[in-house]
Structure 1
Amino acid sequence: MDVVDEIKEALERICPMTVSCADIIIMASRDAVALSAGPFWEVKLGRLDSLSASQKASDDIMPSPRSNASMLIDLFARFNLSVQDLVALSGSHSIGNARCFSIVHRIYNQSDDGKPDPSIEPGFLKKLQELCPLGGDENVIGDLDFTPRTFDNEYFKDLVNGKGFLNSDETLFTNPQTREYVQRYSEDQSAFLKDFVEGMIKLGDLQSGLPGEIRKNCRVVNSPPPANVMVRK
């Protein structure tokens, strides 16, 4: 979010109240993928920022790292996103990392029985437990796949081999509804990149036609509210 703040501050100095935070985020996401050897695509601009800000509302639509595939399928369906979209967009975990906080339960007490997730490959489980010892610092971070700075299909290869970092990752291979897409993308990087771009374009259109504003500060709504609420198609 600090990066978004810096971009917004620079834009407000040059062209105030012109570029929304929503557009900044979608362009920054596209560029992060492209700069990591992933695809580049044209981003549709003109999004507006929401007229409310709620941590709870955000939490309700953000997938939990402990989610299973059925939960994720239901969540994405609420936004008219398909199972294919779910799996392809999960490939965003081809780059980046996550905290031990997100996996401690999985690697020590997955089903509240004192045992780890049985889907984790034994050698990988040992590495995860060394990275995140029980009772250790849960802010330690680990890579989401074996090529965390390159946007490729290694993420899906890892899932096939039982080496998904998060439960919400590995569940995509253990669930029969999503497994076929994981298998396909692990074998065909071009198919993954194509479907990922299509999914990102769909994501970018989710707020089309809804009322909104261009925020001065991406962390809070404008105050007082704008006299004329805008709607962009």
Structure 2
Amino acid sequence: MDEAPFDSVHDSRNKRRKAAMGRLSYLSPSVGNIRYNGSKDQMGERYMFLTVFAVCIIVVLIIVILVNRAGNKEMDRKMLNSGADAMISAFHIEGIGLASKADCDLYLFSDKVVIDHNNRKFEIPLDRMRAAVVKTEQEIYEKGKSVVGRALIGTLLVPGLGTIVGGMSGIGSKKVKSTPNTYLIFNFVNSNGELSGVTFLNNFNIIRANKFCEAVNKNTRNNQTETVTL
């Protein structure tokens, strides 16, 4: 008579214990799933960031290509309209009576180079041209840092050399800028019979700049005459 209540109490305790164990066994895989899902979400965020970053780079490259293509078409149009053999746009740095960063159109004809800034024109006869070169900022810095003041790199006269080298060197420790510049440099004999020069900046059409200088140098050789005294 007295054992029945004890058995029922014992059975109810066992049921409660089994129910508790069941809940623990249910919660345990849920915690694992939470951790797994958390790491999966982090991987997804990283993948999304890399995807967005790659898309941004592609978009920037496409914009640069389109801008360069549009610029080349405009320069080709100006070249055809002027009858020039070659043409390129650039910014004046130093050397002629123009402000720094004045935008210029450079035209190569069979006998001269014409520099045009808003219909203000400067001419360099090819028989007085001595050099037409393209130099990167780093090349100018490495070769010109010891001769600032003379504006010479070897035999090349570089107007604005002090500004270029000074801008890169800072207080003497900074050697490379985040955005390198590319310069077109002309050396010629001026109307007074003295060696002179002019420097231009062009960062968007480096291939065209090199081709322009090659054409200038080729036409220069064709226009120069040599007299031999016997």
After TM superposition, the score normalised by the length of structure 1 is 0.26
Which is strand-richer, 1 or 2?
2
Structure with the larger RCO, 1 or 2 (CA within 8 Å, 6+ apart): 1
Structure ID, larger Rg: 2
After TM superposition, the score normalised by the length of structure 2 is 0.27
